[in-house]
Structure 1
Amino acid sequence: MAEAVRAALYLRVSTGRQADSDLSIPDQRRQAKGYCAARGWEIVSDYVEPGASATGDRRPEFQRMIDAATTKPPTFDVVLVHSFSRFFRDQFQLEFYVRRLAKNGVRLVSITQELGDDPMSNMIRQIMALFDEYQSKENAKHTLRAMKENARQGFWNGALPPIGYRIVLAAEQRGQAPL
């Protein structure tokens, strides 16, 4: 009888606000447990990254997981994520880490984007990663635009604007120079 596949769960949300709402990470964990149970996989560890962007690799739990995956022998066979965007939102770095894991016999598996190990599946993963990267950059652009507009209008929940922003609207309306 073959040994059970040993899985490490990687659960992540992008912002502290998402982590505080405590909805996505428990849902990711529930879906991952169900996925593993349906396949007879053993969950040997989980790595939770609340409020960390996947545009870079400066994520403590991510690095701890990569270290465990690249030890000889690795402590697990599969890194299981809800979607590839939970692992990375940068196509180049996603591929870098997928290959680094593969060199040690560890696979990256997505619950919602099931792919094989053949060349066509690799190409599809790379295309999906490009879309994830594009979406991340678009979201950042729109968020920054909204933050600038909120700062311009002084909508910071009655508080002073963040460092680097000035309140200009009221002064401009009175015909005075901004602060």
Structure 2
Amino acid sequence: MAGNHKVAIYARVSTDEQTVDPQLRDLREYAANRGWRDVQEFVDVGVSGAKDSRPAWNRLWDAIQKGRVKVLFVHALDRLGRSLPHLVKILSTLVERDVVLVSFRENIDLSTSTGRMVAGLFSVLADYELSIIRERTKAGMRAARARGSQIGPKKRPFDADKATRLRDQGWGQIRIARELGVGVGRVNRWVKEEYVPPDRRTSR
């Protein structure tokens, strides 16, 4: 990579008691040794990597989307995100935008064939992790059903008397559903199959 690339350094610590100084010191020295001159720093302090929205990261991501960054330089991959699927999503976008990711601690450089191989491995591992999570979720639901536990939120009983009063007052199905805390589909079925308008009730 030539020295005229637009390089973004991203540093982050999770708490206000921590400091980004060690990260920045290593990254600045490495950037100087690589001949990177057009370097901009983005720093988040007291922000967890589990959060998608981070002040400095948001500005950096916007610059990446607009093509203003060609190299993203971090001290470690966990500075970008805490979960493997989240990290793979970031890597995929960087590849699409032709942005090279360099990680100091892991010695990963996506401009090299080895770096691209590592990125591909991350993608495979992320898919594997998601498949395990899905299978564990399904297994938990099956076990809950076997115990007779209800899956999902409890259904609220449909108050037909109250629904009738509201409908008689001219309330629409959506408004009734919100008032009763039930789905609109349930109210629609009730109106179609059970509700009797006042004029028809009095004529009986």
**TM-score grouping bracket, smaller chain normalisation:** 0.5 to 0.7
Partner of 2:25: 30
Partner of 1:133: none
Q: Secondary structure at the match of 2:10?
A: strand
Is residue 55 of structure 1 aligned with residue 75 of structure 2?
A: no
Partner of 2:61: 66
Q: Which amino acid in 1 is paired with 2:78?
A: S
- The alignment's TM-score, normalised by the length of structure 2, stands at 0.54
Partner of 1:75: 68
| Greater relative contact order structure (CA < 8 Å, 6+ sep) | 1
Partner of 1:122: 119
Distance across 2 between alignment mates of 1:89 and 1:128: 14
Give 1 or 2 for the bigger CA radius of gyration.
2
Q: 1:128 to 1:15 in 2, by over 3 A?
A: farther
Distance across 1 between alignment mates of 2:122 and 2:105: 12
State which of 95, 101, 125 in structure 2 corresponds to 1:102: 95
Describe how 1:129-168 pairs up with structure 2 within 5 A: none
Mark the runs of 5 or more structure 2 residues left unpaired by the alignment: 127-204
Distance across 1 between alignment mates of 2:96 and 2:11: 23
Partner of 2:130: none
Q: Secondary structure at the match of 1:89?
A: coil
Partner of 1:157: none
Distance across 1 between alignment mates of 2:86 and 2:32: 30
1:6 positional shift: 2.1
Figure out how many residues of one structure are paired with residues of the other and give that number.
Answer: 122
Q: Which amino acid in 2 is paired with 1:42?
A: R
Q: Alignment identity in percent?
A: 31
Is residue 111 of structure 1 aligned with residue 108 of structure 2?
A: no
Distance across 2 between alignment mates of 1:113 and 1:128: 17
Distance across 1 between alignment mates of 2:53 and 2:87: 13
